[in-house]
Structure 1
Amino acid sequence: MNDSDIVIPNGAHIAQVRKSCGLTQAQLAKATGYSIRLIGKTEQGKGVRYSSLVAIADTLRRNGAESVCASQLCSDPETIARQFVEAYRWHEQNMISEVRHLISDDLQVFIAGDQTRIPFAGNYSGPEGLQQFLDRFFGLLERPDKNALTLKYYTNANEVVAYGTEFGRIKGSDTSELTWLSLLFRIEGGLVVRFEDYFDTAPAQARVEAFREKINAWDEEE
């Protein structure tokens, strides 16, 4: 993101963080060197330069919001999708706390695959449903290299598609597999309202079934 890029701020989140820091709009404006009008504009979700959000984030950090950064104050669809993916990359099963402010209470989640063959496939609702999916996913799989997730982003209005590959393996296995995946995000009002996860389901199903057969064989031997 370049400082001169025009971005759409997540106004409600900016106002929330400002208030948690005990600042009025006037105080935030004075501390950043901007006008009250510009602060009001960001909190109304109107387009501003990314450099403005950098300055606002710096000021909020100095006033107690230690973890806030400029990208977290954006609500343009691609930025939100990237934040979601980066939370998954680094925090995995615990990602929701990092992006809860970007997830709709009415979030709908679809994970491709045959539910009888892939335990985490299916439909989920709300942040709680997303957590249920993550628990099932990381209960079965692990990602040995968090940097191995490589995606390209394509945006059309309020929808973002992230397409690429990552390495993963079934827990207990020594072999990591390269899997392609395509992630669809639908963003409304600065929030993710729908998330769809498509991946190379046939090989994934085969790997799960092979692993189950191995476990069953071990059980029979005992």
Structure 2
Amino acid sequence: MLTVALAKGRTADDLMPMWRRANLPAPESLDDSRALVFDVQDERFGVLRILLAKPADVPAYVSLGVADVGVAGKDVLLESDREVYELLDLGVARCKLCVAGRPQEQAERPRRVATKYPKLADAHFRRLGQQVEIVGLSGSIELAAVIGLADRIVDLVQSGKTLEANGLVVFEELLDISARLIANRSSYRMKRRQIDVVWQALENEVKFHA
């Protein structure tokens, strides 16, 4: 059996069309079901088990061996700093990690930064030689800037419409983010043949649509 951990939400939504085009097994009910674990019979794997996890948890599932491979955004991989093999940039779920805030505060030296990415945010402002207070939040980060809890936010930006709707603008673009295929280090040795099937099938799709 090969176990795959997928990040719920946009990452899984963007990945599944590519996954199915690559002729990898997927449950028909994945899009509509509230289940979190799916087992699909396939002659190449015996059973392919798919776990739907919170995006920030996927690197932990893979690094700790609960899943053999996984798909997660580059943002959560950098923030979690888990020991996994990064096999492939899938080129889906693209966005940017940005510093944003209210336009009138752009010229001011930042004091407090709200983010879901405290490690990445702290490292960025340290590189700039700016000492800031990092406030870790898990909800709508834009709200922190709107109500004045923070004078900067560090968050993912896709279209920018949410920022615009809340009167915020991008100050800096820090990283280009996309979904990555990752593997558990032990599984990569013990289940190399099965992992290669997934890796090569997805790599062919990436190259075909490049």
TM-score by length of 2: 0.30
| Structure number with higher relative contact order (C-alpha < 8 Å, ≥ 6 residues apart) | 2
Which structure shows the higher helix fraction? 1
- Flag the structure with larger Rg: 1
Which structure shows the higher strand fraction? 2
TM-score by length of 1: 0.29
